């Protein structure tokens, strides 16, 4: 694998730590402690998704993380007036706008930037006025990349779920789609990130796409942490994306 000219960055999503906590309704495991352990392992940012139904991450988590972690907080959020208002008040360094359905287990597909186009444009403008870096979570489609640039987003995060779920020739086709979207995004001046469904094996082929500068990964890292601890699980993933070695 050929690593990028500058080291790729790793954003660690800790939503599933909160999912485990919410299963009992108590305080364990600690979302803050998870974030600090991820930092020890080399996380370049911490990602949390503040959902409208608050199924895992809570408002208090966002505020505590902003006060106590050392790396940037990346707040995933739907285009909800309530959540946008919270983001404008909290002012995390980064937000990633994602689609959200109440009954989904996890985010399904990328954001359609042509749906509620005016509302999206206003939200992006308001967030960026607060010096918040706005990323748009999209499928690897040229029309979506072009629209992200037109809107004036700081970055795109390419949804890699279809790639992760594909096999054989279909996976190669998905990889080509990701490569094309990443190249177009870079050409248009967008920072390119990737995430969803990535693990300690399927991330390797994406390392041959130098335009991808950041990976945001959660479930596979938290799953690995059950056996080796969170700091080590993060460290192992960081080694993969920075050196191309497992």
The three state secondary structure string of the chain is CCCCCCCCEEEEECHHHHHHHHHHCCCCCCHHHHHHHHHHCCCCEEEEECCCCCCCCCHHHHHHHHHHCCCCEEEEECCCHHHHHHHHHHCCCEEEECCCCCCCCCCCCCCCCCCCHHHHHHHHHHHHHCCCEEEEEECCCHHHHHHHHHHCCCEEEEECHHHHHCCHHHHHHHHHHHHHHHHHHHHCCCEEEEECCCCCCCCHHHHHCCCEEEEEECHHHHHHHHHHCHHHHHHHHHHHHHHCCC
Q: How much is the pTM? A: 0.93
pLDDT tens digits, one per residue of 168-199: 999 999 999 999 999 999 999 999 999 999 99
pLDDT tens digits, one per residue of 3-38: 445 689 999 999 999 999 999 989 999 999 999 999
Predicted confidence pLDDT, tens digits, the chain (246 residues)? 444 456 899 999 999 999 999 999 899 999 999 999 999 999 999 999 999 999 999 999 999 999 999 999 999 999 999 999 999 999 999 999 999 765 545 556 799 999 989 999 999 999 999 999 999 999 999 999 999 999 999 999 999 999 999 999 999 999 999 999 999 999 999 999 999 999 999 999 999 999 999 999 999 999 999 999 999 999 999 999 999 887
Domains of the chain plus CATH, in order, are 9-241 (3.20.20.70)
Give me the active site residues, please: 49, 76, 196
The token duo for 152 is: 């004036």
* Residue entry with tokens 């940012």: 45
Interacting residues of 68 by C-beta distance below 8 A, sequence separation 6+: 32, 35, 36
């Amino acid at each position: 694998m050929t690593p990028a000219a500058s080291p790729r960055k790793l954003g660690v999503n800790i939503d599933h730590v909160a999912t485990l906590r919410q299963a009992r309704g108590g305080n364990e495991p600690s979302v803050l402690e998870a974030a600090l352990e991820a930092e020890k392992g080399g996380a370049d940012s911490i990602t949390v998704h503040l959902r409208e139904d608050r199924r895992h991450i809570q408002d208090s988590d966002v505020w505590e993380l902003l006060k106590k972690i050392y790396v940037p907080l990346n707040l995933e959020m739907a285009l909800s007036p309530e959540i946008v208002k919270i983001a404008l008040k909290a002012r995390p360094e980064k937000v990633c706008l994602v689609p959200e359905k109440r009954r989904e287990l996890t985010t399904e597909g990328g954001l359609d930037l042509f749906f509620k186009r005016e509302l999206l444009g206003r939200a992006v403008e308001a967030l960026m006025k607060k010096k918040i870096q706005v990323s748009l979570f999209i499928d690897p489609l040229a029309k979506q990349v072009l629209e992200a640039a037109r809107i004036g987003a700081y970055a795109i995060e390419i949804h890699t779920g279809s790639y992760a779920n594909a096999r054989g020739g279909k996976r190669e086709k998905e990889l080509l789609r990701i490569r094309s979207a990443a190249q177009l995004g870079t050409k248009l001046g967008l920072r390119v990130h990737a995430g969803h469904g990535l693990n300690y094996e399927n991330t390797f082929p994406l390392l041959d796409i130098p335009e991808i500068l950041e990976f945001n990964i959660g479930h596979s890292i938290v799953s690995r942490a059950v056996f080796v601890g969170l700091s080590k699980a993060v460290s192992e993933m960081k080694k993969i994306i920075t050196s191309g070695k497992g």
